Structures are given as C-alpha cells and as structure tokens.
Amino acid sequence: MGNAIDILLVLLVLTDLVLLGSSRLRNAIRIVALQGLALGLLPLLAHGRGRLWPAILLGAGSAVLKGFVFPALLRRALRETRASREIEPFVGYIASLLLGVGALALSFGFGARLPLPWAAPSPWMVPAGLFSVWTGLFLIVARRKAITQVLGYVVMENGIFALGMVLVEAMPLLVELGVLLDIFVAVFVMGIIVFHINREFDHIDSDQLEALREGAP
C-alpha cells in the first residue's frame, strides 16, 4: 500500500510542477482534473481500520467532483469567452518553475523537521501537501486570469486534502464531506462569476463600440 500512496504523491508533485510551467488554459484544466482523480484514490489507500466505506464515499465524491464536474464547468466558462487561451502570467513560466523547485525543497525540509506525533501513511504526504498548497497560492497571485485563479484554488484545496489524509483517523467523515460540499459550491459560484466576467466585459466592449457609433456625425 505504501508504494501506491508514494506514487500518487509523486504524481501530485509532478502535476504541480507541470502546472507552474504550463501556458495553455485547456492543458491546465486537464492537469488539475488528473490531479483530482489521483487524489480520489488517496483515501482508499490511506484509510484506517473499519473506515473503508467512508473512505470510498469520500474518495469517489472527490474524484467525481474534481476529475469531471469542475473541469466540465471550467471548460464551459472557457468556451464562452472570446479572450485568448493563453494563461498570461505575471511571473514568467521559467521563473515560476524555479520558484516552484525552491518551494519544493523548502516543503521537504519543513516536512522532514515536523515532529508529527504519529507516523503519516507516507513520509511524502506532508511535503507533497504543503507544496500543493504553495502552488495553489502561487497560481492565484501570479496569474492574471480569473479562471487560472479558480484552478489555483482547486490545487490549494488538493494540497489541504492530502494533508488531511495524515489525520484520516481523527477527522469525522461528516466534516470531510461538508468541506467537499463547500468546495463544490465555491467552485460552482466561481465558475458562474467567471462566466459573468467574460460576458460583462464583452458586453462593455460592444456597448462602447455602440456609443462611439452614435456619437459620430
């Protein structure tokens, strides 16, 4: 079991790095979906004694939402926009990657030094989770588009989800499901607002064109 968890966590770190260097929105959405699917397996592998069904419920719910529902929502929002599909970063891709590698090293340093009272299911879990939280925050502040910020939010939640697996024994399922529901609604509302942002700004552009035409003699 330990090996499978490690592989998933390596996948989490790798997808984060790919996201930092990715320039296409469509690609980024696909990578976040893949990340969500991989994380859905995590509760199944990390669950404790007698908590198989809750783990299945949580894992399946998380995988369906993050792997299928969110990407569909975001793709829909993307389709409506006539803006370019480039990500338009504030911080360049190479710089982002370099910063990411630095953050990864820090996460490992911190994770190794953190005196957890009990052994996590995998020594990678805390560093990978922390790195994902960092990547999410970085994407939110260093990318220009609203849709990339939503992706950053999802990546950050993925990191918190991975960190939460350390506590899989102690967190009540109801809370985990409540968290999942909140994130679902949050991304749903964000998706709607992204849709409005696209429409509103298209709308304004066309309005201004109209106003100019009226003003011309």
Partner 1 sequence: MIWALVFLPLASALASVLIRSDRIRRAMLVATAAAHSALTGICWIAPPAVAPGAWVGLDAAGRLFLGISSLLFLAVSVYVAHSLGRESRGRQTEEDTGAVFVNAPEAVFTACLLMFLSTMTLVVASRHLGLLWVAVEATTLATAPLIYFHRQPSSLEATWKYLLVCSVGIALALLGNFLIVVASASADGSGGTLLAPDLVARAAQLRAPWLKAAFVFLLVGYGTKMGLVPMHTWLPDAHSEAPSPVSALLSGALLNCAFLGILRAHSICAAAGLGDFSGTLLAGFGLLSMGVAAAFLANATDYKRMLAYSSVEHMGVLALGAGLGGVALYGAMLHAVNHSAVKAGLFLLAGNFLAAYRTKSIARVGGGARRLPASGLLWLLGLFAITGAPPFGTFASEFTILKAAFAQGRTAVAVVALAALAIAFAGMSKAFLGMSLGRAPEGETSAPEREAASAVWPALALLAVSLVLGLWIPHGLQAVLVQAAHLLGGGAP
Q: Which residue has the tokens 């399922």?
A: 173
Determine which residue in the list 47, 149, 162, 191 makes contact with partner 1, applying CB under 8 A.
149
Determine which residue in the list 6, 99, 160, 202 makes contact with partner 1, applying CB under 8 A.
160
Determine which residue in the list 109, 167, 205, 209 makes contact with partner 1, applying CB under 8 A.
167
17 contacts partner 1 (rule: CB under 8 A):
no
Report the residue number, 22 or 149, with the smaller CB distance to partner 1.
149
18 contacts partner 1 (rule: CB under 8 A):
no
DSSP state of 67: I
Calpha distance 174→145 (Å, rounded): 34
Task: Give Cβ neighbours of residue 98 (< 8 Å, ≥ 6 apart).
Answer: none
Q: For partner 1, how many residues bind (rule: CB under 8 A)? A: 38
106 contacts partner 1 (rule: CB under 8 A):
no
The answer to whether 7 and 19 have CB atoms below 8 angstroms apart is no
Determine which residue in the list 169, 205, 206, 209 makes contact with partner 1, applying CB under 8 A.
169
212 contacts partner 1 (rule: CB under 8 A):
no
User: Which stretch in 66-74, 75-83, 88-96, 164-172 sits in contact with partner 1 by CB under 8 A?
Assistant: 164-172
What crossing angle do the helices spanning 93-113 and 2-21 adopt, rounded to 10°? 150
| Least gap, CB of 88 to partner 1 (angstroms) | 16
Quick one: the chain helix, strand, coil %, rounded to 5?
80, 0, 20
Calpha distance 9→126 (Å, rounded): 10
Site for partner 1, residues 67 to 96, rule: CB under 8 A? none
Calpha distance 30→36 (Å, rounded): 10
* Site map (CB under 8 A) of partner 1, residues 176-205, x = contact: --xx-xx--xx--xx--x--xx--xx--x-
CA distances to 34, 81, 106, 173, 195 from 201, rounded to whole Å, are 31, 10, 40, 42, 10
Determine which residue in the list 3, 82, 117, 213 makes contact with partner 1, applying CB under 8 A.
117
> ∠ at Cα 107 (125, 117), nearest 5°?
50
| Least gap, CB of 38 to partner 1 (angstroms) | 20
For binding to partner 1 (CB under 8 A), which residues are involved?
Answer: 48, 116-118, 133, 137, 140, 146, 149, 153, 156-157, 160, 163-164, 166-167, 169-172, 174-175, 178-179, 181-182, 185-186, 189-190, 193, 196-197, 200-201, 204, 207
